[in-house]
Structure 1
Amino acid sequence: MSVTYEVRNGVAWLTIDRPDARNALNKEVRDGLFDGVRRFNADDAAKVLVLTGAGDKAFCAGGDLKEMADNALTVPPIDFVPQFGRNIEVSKPTIAAVNGVALAGGFLLAQTADLCIASDTARFAISEVKVGRGAPWAAPLSWLVPPRVAMEILLTGDMMSAERAREVGLVNKVVAADDLVEETQKLAERIAANAPLSVMAGKRTVRLIAEMPLAEAFDEAERIWEPVYLSADAQEGPAAFRDKRAPQWEGR
Structure 2
Amino acid sequence: MSAPGSSEAINPSLLYEQHGSVVVIRINRPDQLNAISGEVRSGLFTAFERFEQDDSALVAILTSTGDKAFCAGMDLKEAAESGLAVPPLGFLPIIGDSIRVTKPTIAAVNGLAFAGGWLLAQMCDLCIAAEHATFGITEARVGRGMPWAASLVTMVQQRAVMELLLTAEPITAQRAYEIGFVNHVVPGPEVLPRAMAMAAKIVANAPLTVWAARELVYLSTEMGRSAAQRAATHLFEKVYLSEDAQEGPRAFREKRQPVWKGR
Q: Give the TM-score band, short-chain normalised.
A: over 0.9
Structure with the bigger RCO (C-alpha within 8 Å, sep 6+) is 1
Instruction: Specify the alignment match of 1:5 in structure 2.
Output: 16
* Unmatched tracts of structure 2, length 5 or more: 1-11
Which whole-Å CA distance do the structure 2 matches of 1:136 and 1:64 have between them?
A: 18
Task: Tell whether the 8 Å contact from 1:9 to 1:189 is kept in structure 2 after alignment.
Answer: no
2:141 partner letter: K
Task: Please say if 1:82 is aligned against 2:65.
Answer: no
In the TM superposition, what whole-angstrom CA distance separates every residue of 1:71-109 from its partner, at most 9, and x where no partner exists? 000001231222111121111000000000101000000
In the TM superposition, what whole-angstrom CA distance separates every residue of 1:106-129 from its partner, at most 9, and x where no partner exists? 000000100000000110000000
Q: Which of residues 163, 167, 182 in structure 2 aligns to 1:156?
A: 167
Task: Please say if 1:62 is aligned against 2:73.
Answer: yes
Instruction: Specify the alignment match of 2:4 in structure 1.
Output: none
1:62-141 alignment runs, 5 A limit: 62-141=73-152
Q: TM-score if structure 1 supplies the norm length? A: 0.99
Instruction: Specify the alignment match of 1:182 in structure 2.
Output: 193
Which whole-Å CA distance do the structure 1 matches of 2:151 and 2:53 have between them?
A: 27
1:187-198 alignment runs, 5 A limit: 187-198=198-209
Q: Which runs of 4+ in 1 moved over 4 A?
A: none
Which has the higher mean CA deviation after the structures are superposed, 75-84 or 114-123? Answer: 75-84
Instruction: Specify the alignment match of 1:144 in structure 2.
Output: 155
Task: Please say if 1:223 is aligned against 2:215.
Answer: no
Which whole-Å CA distance do the structure 1 matches of 2:61 and 2:89 have between them?
A: 23
1:114 partner letter: D
**Deviation for aligned residue 1:135:** 0.2
In the TM superposition, what whole-angstrom CA distance separates every residue of 1:123-162 from its partner, at most 9, and x where no partner exists? 0000000000000011101111011011111111101100
2:235 partner letter: I
Instruction: Specify the alignment match of 2:45 in structure 1.
Output: 34
**Deviation for aligned residue 1:209:** 2.3
1:21 partner letter: Q
* Unmatched tracts of structure 1, length 5 or more: none
1:225 partner letter: F
The 3-state SS of whatever aligns with 2:213 is helix
